[in-house]
Structure 1
Amino acid sequence: MTVLIHVFVALHIIGIAALLGGFLTQLKAMGRGTARFVPAMLHGAITMLVTGVVLVGLNQADGHHVNNIKIGIKLALLIVILGLVYVKRDEETVDKGMFGLVGALTTANIFIAVLWT
């Protein structure tokens, strides 16, 4: 079971890398006001959602303690991110504030995952 959990942690990290990487590639365009949500951001957010749910289930099934408050906050942030990216995915440009919000929420999600023990 431990190996399976580690595989899903790796997939979860790949998802966050796609989401944050997509954001970072658009920073220069954000400065010009031409940033858009790239497909990698949507795919990364979906990957994070699916692997995160699987990780919670696997950890609970293996008898590990799961901090439900932490997971709930991370899930809420991810749902907001996923909603914004999904709704605006086909637009040529996205408002700087909305684009920045997705980056800030993604960064907050990372810090919650790493620092909240």
Structure 2
Amino acid sequence: MDWAHDLLLLLHLVGFAALFGGAFVQLRDREPVVNAAMLHGALTQLVSGLALVGVNEAGDVDVNHVKIGIKLVVTLLVTVLVVLNRRFDSIPKGLWAIILLLTLGNAALAVLW
């Protein structure tokens, strides 16, 4: 089960890198967009995160359900914002900042809690 956990964790980190990197690269753009990296990163994080919880529950790992619940809500919110705004040529700078900060905040929850 360790190899499955490690592989899923790697995929989860790749999803974070794609989502955060896709948003961060637009820091100086006047009209940010939801690019493919953000879309695929958000979906990868959602799927791999759920799979990680499943692998941990199946194994003998104690899962903090409150932490996972909060992270799931944040991830779903980011994914919905990314998917709904994918079709637009540009998104407001405030929405871009919300996506970026929620993504960073979710990573902070994972590391610091």
Place the TM-score, normalised by the shorter chain, in its bin: over 0.9
The within-5 A match list for 1:28-107 is 28-29=28-29, 32=30, 34-107=31-104
The number of residues matched between the two structures is 113
Tell me the TM-score normalised to structure 2 length.
Answer: 0.98
Distance, in Å, in 2 between the alignment partners of 1:7 and 1:73 is: 23
Tell me the TM-score normalised to structure 1 length.
Answer: 0.94
Distance, in Å, in 2 between the alignment partners of 1:80 and 1:53 is: 15
Distance, in Å, in 2 between the alignment partners of 1:60 and 1:83 is: 26
Distance, in Å, in 2 between the alignment partners of 1:79 and 1:41 is: 14
Distance, in Å, in 2 between the alignment partners of 1:54 and 1:20 is: 21
The within-5 A match list for 1:18-29 is 18-29=18-29
Q: Which structure 1 segments of 5+ residues have no match?
A: none
Distance, in Å, in 2 between the alignment partners of 1:36 and 1:12 is: 23
Residue 108 (structure 1) aligns with: 105
RMSD: 0.6
Question: How far off its partner does 1:3 sit?
Answer: 1.1
Distance, in Å, in 2 between the alignment partners of 1:85 and 1:94 is: 10
Q: Amino acid of the residue matched to residue 87 of structure 1? A: L
Q: Amino acid of the residue matched to residue 2 of structure 2? A: T
Q: Amino acid of the residue matched to residue 46 of structure 2? A: L
Identical columns (%) = 42
Residue 8 (structure 1) aligns with: 8
Distance, in Å, in 2 between the alignment partners of 1:42 and 1:25 is: 14
Q: 4+ residue stretches of structure 1 with deviation over 4 A?
A: none
